[in-house]
Amino acid sequence: MITALLVAIAAAVGAVCRYALDLAIQRRHRGVFPLGTTTINVVGSLILGIVTGLAARHGLNARAAVVAGVGFCGGFTTFSTWTWETLALAEARANRLALLNVIGSLGLGLAAAAAGLAMTN
Amino acid sequence: MPGPSDVHGTSDVHGPIDPDIEPAEFEGADGESLGAGLPTLPRFSIHIAMVVFAGGLAGGLARYLLGRAWPTPLRGFPWSTFAVNVTGSFALGLLIILVVEVLAHRTHVGPARYLRPALGTGFLGAFTTFSALTLSTDQLIAHGHLVLGLAYLVASVAAGLLAAIAGLRCGRLLGRRWPGSHGVPGSDGVGG
């Protein structure tokens, strides 16, 4: 019960961080590529890798790991915005950017999560 | 004519700039244009941040409870995350079309301007998750389940994109029947 509440609060904090960071990045970045969401998803994947590694190998408290991982990282990163932005690029006939958004986010996200796990080895 | 009223006049290319950001608070004539009819992004708003928080609270809780009710067996296919991401992609496509294209004339004033940040950026943004997808894929592959890991990754992306297209099309179908709708631009859509 308390864990659920803490997860919800951490997810809400993650969502507000995403709103603020995405706005900050997109305002400074010219062009149509959704660099804000890419950055958020890659950074969130790295943090989740670190949290998971700390829980598995360094005795991070299980509740703290769930709140930080499922709550914060889950609320911070987003799948729906990413699929929508990919679709929007394709609709604007920016097919190469749409493909880059898929391949780039997945490649960097997978690498970031693996790096987070490796850092705690 | 500067300001919000011409923002939506050009919104048939509405996407590449973050679709979850509240479209109602654009800068005036002195704001920088990103070109191609794209509006300048709004400034950070504490009111928007508050509704994003509220939406994120509910979205994060819903994802957590679904994960508890439908746990992934060790080294199994993460169905719960898959389902969350696919349904969330559908719902965001539907929501954005309804808010941006159908309700556009009502989203400058009143509570409707908080719909997209609350439900899109807040609820659906926190409900769906990217980090769990990348981490679970890495872990499945690292533990020798290469095929399962790649299947999870490819299925999530393919189903998520198809769901977003389905949501967009449903939104446009609804939009044509929407009483008082200002018309639905760009309904030639993705893939025809």
With bands split at pLDDT 50, 70 and 90, how would you rate the model's confidence at B180?
low
Q: How far is CA B8 from CA B39, B67, B182, B183, in A?
A: 9, 38, 11, 12
Cβ-Cβ contacts under 8 Å for A107 (sequence gap 6 or more): none
SS3 sequence of B78-118 = CHHHHHHHHHHHHHHHHHHHHHHHHCHHHCCCCHHHHHHHH
Q: What pLDDT is recorded for position A101? A: 97
Give CA angle at B67 (B62, B71), nearest 5°: 160
Contact residues, chain B, for A11 at CB < 8 Å: 56-57, 59-61, 63-64, 126
| Cβ contacts of B14 on chain A, cutoff 8 Å | 88
Most A CBs within 10 A among B89, B127, B134, hence the mutation to make, goes to B134
> Is the Cα torsion angle A11, B78, B20, B104 positive or negative in sign?
negative
What whole-number distance in Å separates Cα of residue B91 and Cα of residue B168?
A: 9
Q: From the candidates B61, B101, B131, which should be mutated to test the interface with A, based on the most A CB atoms within 10 A?
A: B131
Encode pLDDT of B7-59 as tens digits: 343 334 444 444 444 444 443 333 333 334 445 677 899 999 999 999 999 99
Residue type, B146: L
Q: Which residue out of A13, A46, A83 would a mutagenesis test of the B interface target, given it has the greatest number of B Cβ atoms within 10 Å?
A: A83
Of the candidates A4, A48, A91, which has its C-beta nearest B15's C-beta?
A91
Q: In this predicted structure, what is the pLDDT of residue B73? A: 85
Confidence of residue B94 (pLDDT cuts 50, 70, 90): very high
State the pLDDT at residue B23. 46
- Residues B126 and A39: beta-carbon distance below 8 Å: no
Residues of chain B with Cβ-Cβ distance to A88 below 8 Å are 14-16, 19
- Binary contact (B134, A112; C-beta < 8 A): yes
Residues of B in contact with A30 (CB under 8 A): 34
Q: Which of B100, B116, B119, B97 is CA-nearest to residue B172?
A: B97
- Using CA coordinates, name the residue in chain B closest to A110: B134
Q: What is the ipTM of this complex?
A: 0.95
A8 and B CB contact within 8 Å = yes
For chain A, the maximum distance between any two Cα atoms, rounded to a whole number of angstroms, is 49
Could you tell me which residues come within 8 angstroms of residue A2 by beta carbon, excluding any fewer than 6 positions away?
A: none
pLDDT of residue B97: 87
**Under an 8 A CB cutoff, do B15 and A84 touch?**
yes
Q: Of B89, B69, B90, which is closest to residue B80 (Cα–Cα)?
A: B69
Residue range B158-180: average pLDDT?
87
> Between the CA of residue B50 and those of B20, B38, B45, what are the distances in Å?
15, 26, 9
pLDDT at A35 over 90: yes
* DSSP characters over B128-190: S-SHHHHHHHHHHHHTT-HHHHHHHHHHHHHHHHHHHHHHHHHHHHHHHH-TT----TTTT-T
Whether residues A41 and B130 touch (CB distance < 8 A) is answered with: yes
Residues 46-65 of A with CB under 8 A from B: 47-49, 52
Cβ pair B15:A89 closer than 8 A: yes
* Cβ–Cβ under 8 Å, residues B42 and B21: yes
User: Mean pLDDT over residues A15-41, rounded?
Assistant: 94
A residues 69-98 near B, CB within 8 Å?
69-71, 73-92, 94, 97
**Structure confidence at residue B103 (pLDDT):** 74
CA atoms within 13 A on the CB side of B171: 27
Residue A77, SS3 per DSSP: coil
- Mark yes or no for CB contact A15/B59 under 8 Å: yes
